[in-house]
């Protein structure tokens, strides 16, 4: 078993080693911060020139997770594109690939701070979504409970290995960035202060999802 099963706010969930979240009872897959088109956006704005392979790399990973979990619902938890123009200028092969992944399932785009506008790709655009006792939104709200969010791109280092990670407290779950070229914040960054009710853990991604106490997941 490569995923990590856990219970959150009364529901049995799975942290996949890819950084996706699987909710079997709802037949749902959730990913956050794909940041598709980041290399194109950086080149367009005069930034560093990165090899333009991150869209195919991210879609390949998403394709594999969808093939494995066969979800009826997919939630993209904000910042799916690096900016609105990146969504509009998505290369046709990548657009068709994404449309194929969306076909036959409920696909929900949660608005992020990078892609606040409707994406025009089909599916449903939402600011947030509540299913049973869980609320999906892009950025954590301080007093929320049963919340699943993204935005911060958490990462941790344990036993000399640095990995993107899930952060799981009693009140909320923060997903790692799913996309290539996304970078991240160390899980002891001040941005996380006060967000996670203890006891909290980090779940490292990689070849296997590995849970560790948050106190040990430091840089």
Output the six-digit token pair for 174: 């923060």
Only one residue has tokens 């301080």, namely 142
- Residue 37: CATH number of its domain: 3.60.21
Residue 66: domain span: 4-216
DSSP conformation class of 26: G
Is it the case that residue 118 has pLDDT exceeding 70?
A: no
* 36, 56, 59, 82, 219 from 52: Cα distances, Å: 10, 9, 13, 13, 29
Higher per-residue pLDDT: 89 or 171: 171
What pLDDT is stored for residue 56 in this prediction?
86
pTM: 0.92
What is the mean pLDDT of the segment spanning 9-27?
98
pLDDT in tens, 43-79: 444 444 445 578 888 999 999 999 999 999 999 999 9
What pLDDT is stored for residue 52 in this prediction?
56
Number of domains in the chain: 1
What is the mean pLDDT of the segment spanning 185-201?
92
């Amino acid at each position: 078993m490569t995923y990590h099963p856990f219970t959150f706010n009364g529901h049995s969930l799975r942290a996949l080693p890819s950084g996706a979240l699987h909710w079997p009872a709802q037949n749902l897959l959730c990913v956050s911060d794909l940041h598709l088109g980041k290399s194109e956006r950086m080149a367009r704005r005069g930034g560093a020139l990165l090899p333009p392979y991150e869209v195919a790399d991210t879609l390949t990973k998403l394709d594999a997770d969808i093939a494995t979990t066969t979800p009826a619902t997919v939630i993209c938890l904000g910042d799916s594109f690096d900016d609105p123009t990146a969504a509009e200028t998505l290369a046709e092969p990548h657009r068709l690939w994404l449309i194929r992944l969306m076909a036959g399932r409920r696909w929900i785009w949660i608005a992020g701070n990078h892609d606040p506008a409707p994406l025009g790709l089909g599916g449903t655009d939402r600011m947030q979504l509540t299913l049973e006792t869980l609320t999906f939104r892009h950025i954590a709200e301080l007093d929320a409970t049963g919340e699943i969010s993204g935005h911060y791109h958490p990462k941790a280092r344990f036993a000399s290995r640095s990995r993107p990670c899930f952060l799981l407290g009693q009140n909320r779950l923060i997903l790692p960035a799913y996309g290539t070229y996304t970078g991240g914040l160390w899980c002891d960054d001040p941005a996380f202060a006060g967000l996670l009710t203890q006891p909290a853990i980090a779940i490292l991604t990689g070849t296997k999802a590995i849970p560790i106490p948050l106190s040990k997941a430091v840089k």
